[in-house]
Amino acid sequence: MKVIFLDVDGVLNSHALIYHYGFDYIDEGLLELLATVVNKTGSEVVLSSTWRLEERNRNLVKASLSRFGMKLFDWTKSIAGGYRCDEISEWLNRHPKVKKYAILDDDPDAGCGAGKNFFMTDPDVGMTNEIANKIIKHLGRNNGQLRSRDN
């Protein structure tokens, strides 16, 4: 199993977009880029963003992913006083079938100890083609088969 730990703010939007559209905005172009990564790698999406903490925000993410044929597989638990990397480690410890993973986040605290599994975005830009290509290379292609929109 391959997993992408997904942050939203600074990854699927940018500071400028948040300023213009508000905090519950997700950019369609960046979603499409994420869908390319998910389809090419056969990865599952696990929400590690603070958006996971409220049902309303999780539902916004689910609906946004769904428009591009993706599903939200799960989300990390909140650990009081812990960093995002601790929450990701806790999730990985509960899911031993994960063979490869990528953390996609604009906060360096998400990647502490993750080494090559951490892909940091610029919050002024969000996810880029360059980062998407690096994640695809890191996780490996899904034997050339795209994931079904019904998965």
pLDDT digits (tens, 9 = 90+) for 16-47: 776 766 677 799 999 999 999 999 999 999 99
- 21 domain-assigned: yes
The average pLDDT across 125-146 equals 88
Integer Cα distance of 14 and 146 in angstroms: 28
What integer pLDDT is reported at residue 151 of this predicted model?
34
pLDDT at 1 over 60: yes
CA 96 – CA 54 distance, rounded (Å): 26
Amino acid at 149: R
Residue pair 123/15 in contact by the 8 Å Cβ criterion? yes
pTM over 0.75: yes
Residue with tokens 């795209």: 146
Looking up tokens 């999406």, which residue turns up?
45
The reply to whether 88 falls in a domain is yes
Residue with tokens 């951490």: 118
The residue segments making up the domain with residue 117 are 2-139
- How many domains does the structure of the chain reveal? 1
Residue 144 lies in a domain: no
Q: How far apart are CA 73 and CA 91, in angstroms?
A: 12
In angstroms, the CA 140 to CA 124 distance is 28
Alpha helices in the chain (DSSP H): 15-21, 28-41, 55-66, 84-94, 129-139
CATH of the domain at 125: 3.40.50.1000
What are the CA-CA distances from residue 91 to residues 18, 109, 125 (Å)?
28, 16, 28
d(CA 102, CA 29): 20
User: Is residue 115 situated within a structural domain?
Assistant: yes
Secondary structure of the chain: what % helix, strand, coil (to 5)? 45, 15, 40
More confident residue, 145 or 32: 32
